């Protein structure tokens, strides 16, 4: 749910930058789905500008209403391009990990008392938008993390669901 909400709040320019960061050999991460929607052959999709593909990809992703797909896209972006945010947050909040990979998410949880300080340190070193996106990913792993949710909602402007 949180990753999907995070996806919805991103500006078009921010989504495009994430989409481009995940491109491989000229293909965006959702180009296969975009090709199906537009009835293009998979190779032909590259004729469309990246902006168009990203916009259509985002529309498709949002229409799926799948937190898992949003988590995959945003998580892939963070691990591939901003891994230091992941590892620094986990280190600062006492979560054991191996290069950002957590063996047991149920057992290894961030120390709530350390979250505010960790976020402050991350904001000083990294783009706060990326840090906010990472918080949404954290909430998918630890949805009952009240300190995480409070911080993400304050940063994202997404109101609590009643």
**Rounded CA separation 71/16 (Å):** 16
Residue ending a domain, choose from 37, 66, 95: 66
Residue 162 lies in a domain: no
- Token look-up 């940063």 returns 155
Domain range for 140 is 82-156
Maximum CA extent, the chain? 52
Helical H segments across the chain, by residue range = 2-9, 12-21, 31-38, 50-64, 67-81, 83-92, 115-125, 128-141, 146-156
Residue ending a domain, choose from 38, 66, 94: 66
Q: CA separation (Å) from 30 to 33, 52, 55, 91? A: 5, 12, 10, 32
- Looking at the fold, whether 60 and 108 belong to one and the same domain comes out as no
- Looking at the fold, whether 152 and 89 belong to one and the same domain comes out as yes
- Looking at the fold, whether 50 and 116 belong to one and the same domain comes out as no
- Looking at the fold, whether 52 and 112 belong to one and the same domain comes out as no
- Looking at the fold, whether 145 and 97 belong to one and the same domain comes out as yes
- Token look-up 């199906």 returns 36
- Three-class secondary structure of residue 78 per DSSP: helix
Residue 31 lies in a domain: yes
Per-residue pLDDT of the chain (162 residues; tens, 9 = 90+): 899 999 999 999 999 999 999 999 999 999 999 999 999 998 899 999 999 999 999 999 999 999 999 999 999 999 999 999 999 999 999 999 999 999 999 999 999 999 999 999 999 999 999 999 999 999 999 999 999 999 999 999 988 876
Residue 1 lies in a domain: no
As for how many domains the chain has, the answer is: 2
- Looking at the fold, whether 143 and 86 belong to one and the same domain comes out as yes
- Looking at the fold, whether 98 and 145 belong to one and the same domain comes out as yes
Residue 73 lies in a domain: no
- Looking at the fold, whether 87 and 125 belong to one and the same domain comes out as yes
Residue 161 lies in a domain: no
């Amino acid at each position: 749910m949180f990753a999907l909400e995070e996806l919805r709040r991103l500006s078009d320019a921010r989504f495009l930058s994430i989409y481009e960061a995940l491109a491989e050999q000229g293909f965006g991460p959702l180009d296969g789905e975009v090709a199906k929607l537009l009835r293009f052959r998979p190779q032909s999709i590259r004729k469309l500008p990246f902006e168009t593909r990203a916009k259509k990809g985002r529309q498709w992703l949002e229409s799926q209403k799948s937190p898992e797909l949003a988590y995959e896209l945003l998580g892939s972006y963070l691990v591939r391009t901003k891994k230091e945010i992941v590892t620094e947050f986990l280190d600062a909040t006492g979560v054991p990990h191996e290069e950002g990979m957590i063996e047991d998410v149920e057992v290894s949880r961030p120390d709530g008392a350390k979250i505010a300080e960790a976020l402050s340190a991350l904001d000083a070193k990294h783009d706060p938008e990326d840090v906010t996106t990472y918080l949404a990913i954290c909430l998918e792993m630890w949805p009952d993390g009240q300190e995480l949710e409070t911080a993400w909602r304050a940063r994202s402007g997404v109101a609590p669901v009643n």
